[in-house]
Chain A
Amino acid sequence: MQPTADPIIEMRHVSFSYGHEDARALDDITLAIEPGAFVGVIGPSGAGKSTLASVLSGAIPHHFTGQLFGETIVDGSDTCEVTLTDISRVVGSVNQDIDAQMVASVVEDELIFGLENFGVDHRHIEKFIEAALDAVGIADLRDREIATLSGGQKQKVAIAAILALAPRVLVLDEPTAALDPVSSRMVFDVLRDLNRDEGITVIVIEQKVALLSEYCDRLVVMNEGRVALDGTPHEVFAHSSELRAIGVDSPRTARISNSLAHRGLCPAGDPCLNVDEAAALIADIVKARAGAPAPVEARALGRATASPHAPAPRPHAKGAEPIVRFSGVTFAYPGGGASVNNLDLTVYPGELVGIVGQNGAGKTTATKLLNGLLKPSSGSVVIAGLDTREVPVSRIARHVATLFQNPDHQLCKNTVLEEVAFGLELAGVSQTDAEARARRVIERFGLPADEAPFSLSRGQRQMVALASVVVCEPAVVVLDEPTSGLDYRECMTVMETVREMAEHGSAVVMVCHDMEVVSDFAERLVVMADGCILARGATAEVFADAALMARARVKPPQVVELSQRLAREVSPAFARISEVAGIVDTTEALAGGGANAAEAPLPSATKADAATDAREA
């Protein structure tokens, strides 16, 4: 890993536009990748990340057609002058769609395929297979049918199949987009081991900033086909206001340290990338400014102003009739799989409830019981007074709207307008009325009304799906992973819209892997594990229960982890804070002097503020 070595991939003034379009997906990119680097590429949707990956892996110019300018040198040869097969000997690539890149039905055969093709001596094949399986840590899956594996396991098989070919560079396009946090972390652990132990250069396109900042040694931020920022994670996340303008999230700890720097409490330019760094920084600030805080006094204070940051329950959630009622709901799939047991759940109009838990905990099953796609085998589900076992799903749909993880399953019409109006028409609204209402929503979302939904980008397709949910003004909204595959800005637009719907009286039930999103938007949480509800309660309280989080195998959001650590090690005033602004305010108050601390931590930030966190910029 010599940083001075010749770059293994070098792009010189590369521009590319697809087909005959004038718009450039890549615009004059010059980039050198050093051997042994672990590079993360991030950027909003449409920034050209996937196109960049295609250029690096040789799929451009060999597979996708368009106009290419400039040159890309992979291991000394211009990618235009050698075949894709030759490039593949150096650069192994793992694409977004895992299912599509499998060629065999059994794990072992999947690995053999590439080895056979590249003419590896048959006497050595066994050795290569074993090495690749071991490197990824899936030796036990060797004889398994690929169809029976989980998403995370499949992703590892895809990596192992490429790894068996001994590439010197791995290019991965959003390898964790479809995975839960635990599996995502496992995939990145594998990548880190390969990078460190085998010296393989890793280039990974990813939306999850916390993962990137933790694993990568270099980050490339793309925007509108250009490289906007390029440097170590520390360097890049010091520009958090620029990142926000582009539409890229920063780790919450980086936001905290940047805000502290902005208020002059610590030097600027060195953001904290994880909880350890942030805890150390804040402890230093508090100790240096205020001297040692008086522990006894502070503890008394902590008790007196118990949880100043606990969010106030929504006033309109009180005194209303519940709109969703699960009583003793049990369901098991005939072929096995995520079953649920004895679920009790009540949701009131205007509530935003998050369901969290590991993959296979039964979260999606619970949402399908809610919208009537599944009927309970015992117990009952009553939505707006309708028992789901007695009423067909198509009638329940007039009260419950679902936003699925993959918008493409929802879209079926020729124009955005027809698509958005479709749900209303199904509910019996006349066509002219439906189109008028659809137009209003489309305008609000800024979508092109006359275009075909499938010609839009992934994020826009999700917005079309969301618009067709919003237009129905449903009593209950069900969200199944509403933010996966979206960039930060799209994610915030979706979630702000959902919050507005809750404020207008819709009950929202959301399944989401992104704990930051859950903590920002959900006011109440239901924790599931192994098909049962482990616990329920106010979001901050649930996240603060470390034992419960461990039992459900859920990693609480960074801010919660940080506030718990600070409450233990620095001052109890930090207890139960779940927002960036809360930590910053409390730190400032504590640093301002021991005496002020008593009245300091104002619960000033609402949840919306925490999400946009304007203060920082």
Chain B
Amino acid sequence: MLNVIDYVPGNTVLHRLNPVTKLALAAAIIIATVLADGYAALIGLLLLTLVLGIYAGSGSRLLSLLKVLVPVAVLMLVLQLAFVRRGEVIALFITTDGLVSGTKACLRLLGVALPLVLVLTVTKTTDLANACVEKLHIPYKYAFTFTTALRFVPVFTQEMNAIMEAQTARGVEFDTKNPVKKLLLMLPVCVPLLVTSVGKTDATALAAEQRGFYLRTRESSYRRYPFRARDVVVGVLCILLIAAGAAL
């Protein structure tokens, strides 16, 4: 089963960048998106993320993520339209100001969500953790927690699917068309999921300790993550990107 955040193997420049640089790139796009105020800039940044994704071979992942995010964005637009009451009325409860701030909020939501996912699809989580420990001096404990959480996402998704299948086969109406009813049915099922996840986390902690987790230091990592020329170039581009975002 493939997940949105799974690593997509490849050998593009994006793959070969230092994981920390990739994080910086994602951060730069996000900051620029937050700072930018024009439609051109917002759409441009979104397109930049998509183009990078297509270049790195994870375009289809980003698109499938978009499919999930667009309904959320539309919901946000409706809320913005309902709450922002300034400007001229266009139709019903829709005002000009509401439309502008609503559409921008939508674009920002998409622009903030996609870059991080892009980074995760072009970086192995172990590399990300080790590079962060080496370059950013993050304690390994936190890096390990983060990568374990990411690794558990597909495991728990599978578990949840198996539970829902089992419950459906018992006659619980998970196959209902009504989303509210489905959500209500899902709540009691979270109990078995919680029970399994606590057990799994404990087993992971034990297994890690039995493989010398507490001996690990910043120097332990076998792989090294030096900054290269391309990292410097991308770093400079990141600064320019933020500056451009603030200006536009």
Residues of A with Cβ closer than 8 Å to B? 57-59, 62-63, 83-85, 88, 92-93, 95-97, 99-106, 109, 112-119, 122, 125, 145, 147, 161-162, 165, 335, 368, 371-373, 392-395, 397-398, 400-402, 404, 406, 408-413, 422-423, 426-427, 454, 468, 478
Complex: A401 Cα to B170 Cα, angstroms: 6
Residues of A within 8 A of B7 (CB): 105-106, 145
Contact across chains for B212 and A85 when beta carbons are under 8 A apart? yes
Q: Closest A residue to B160 by CB, please name it.
A: A409
Q: Closest B residue to A125 by CB, please name it.
A: B222
Residues of A within 8 A of B125 (CB): 104-105
List 30 contacting pairs A-B, 8 Å CB cutoff, sorted by A: A57-B210, A59-B210, A63-B206, A84-B209, A88-B212, A92-B210, A95-B203, A100-B203, A101-B203, A103-B148, A103-B151, A116-B220, A117-B216, A118-B211, A125-B222, A145-B6, A371-B169, A393-B175, A397-B171, A408-B196, A409-B159, A409-B162, A409-B163, A409-B192, A412-B167, A412-B188, A454-B191, A454-B192, A468-B170, A478-B169
Contact across chains for A106 and B126 when beta carbons are under 8 A apart? yes
* The residue from B2, B148, B188, B213 contacting A335, defined by CB atoms under 8 A apart: B2
Complex: A62 Cα to B210 Cα, angstroms: 10
Report the minimum CB–CB distance from A116 to chain B (whole Å).
4
Given A408-B196, A426-B171, A116:B214 Cβ within 8 A: no
Q: A103-B147, A412-B188, A426-B172 are in contact. List 17 more A-B contacts (CB 8 A).
A: A85-B209, A97-B200, A112-B222, A114-B211, A117-B212, A118-B215, A145-B6, A335-B1, A373-B165, A394-B171, A394-B175, A408-B196, A409-B159, A410-B167, A413-B188, A423-B170, A426-B171
Name, among B6, B213, B214, the residue most crowded by chain A CB atoms within 10 Å (CB to CB). Answer: B213
Contact across chains for B166 and A59 when beta carbons are under 8 A apart? no
Residues of A within 8 A of B208 (CB): 103
Contact across chains for B216 and A116 when beta carbons are under 8 A apart? yes
Contact across chains for B170 and A85 when beta carbons are under 8 A apart? no
Residues of A within 8 A of B199 (CB): 97, 100
Contact across chains for B212 and A114 when beta carbons are under 8 A apart? yes
Residues of A within 8 A of B126 (CB): 103-106, 109, 113
B 109-135 to A, binary, CB cutoff 8 A, 1 in contact else 0:
000000000000000111000000000
User: In terms of DSSP, what is the predominant structure of the interface of chain B?
Assistant: helix
B189 CB–A CB distance under 8 Å:
yes
Residues of B with Cβ closer than 8 Å to A? 1-2, 6-7, 124-126, 144, 147-148, 151, 154-155, 159, 162-163, 165-176, 188-189, 191-192, 195-196, 199-201, 203-216, 220-223
Complex: A104 Cα to B126 Cα, angstroms: 6
Counting residue pairs across A and B whose Cβ atoms lie within 8 Å, the total is 166
In the A-B complex, the 8 residue pairs with the closest CB atoms: A117-B212, A397-B171, A101-B207, A100-B203, A426-B171, A114-B211, A409-B166, A116-B220
Complex: A88 Cα to B207 Cα, angstroms: 10
Contact across chains for A397 and B195 when beta carbons are under 8 A apart? no
Report the minimum CB–CB distance from A44 to chain B (whole Å).
22
Complex: A589 Cα to B211 Cα, angstroms: 59
Report the minimum CB–CB distance from A107 to chain B (whole Å).
11
Q: Closest A residue to B215 by CB, please name it.
A: A117
Residues of B within 8 A of A85 (CB): 209-210, 212, 214-215
Contact across chains for B200 and A100 when beta carbons are under 8 A apart? yes
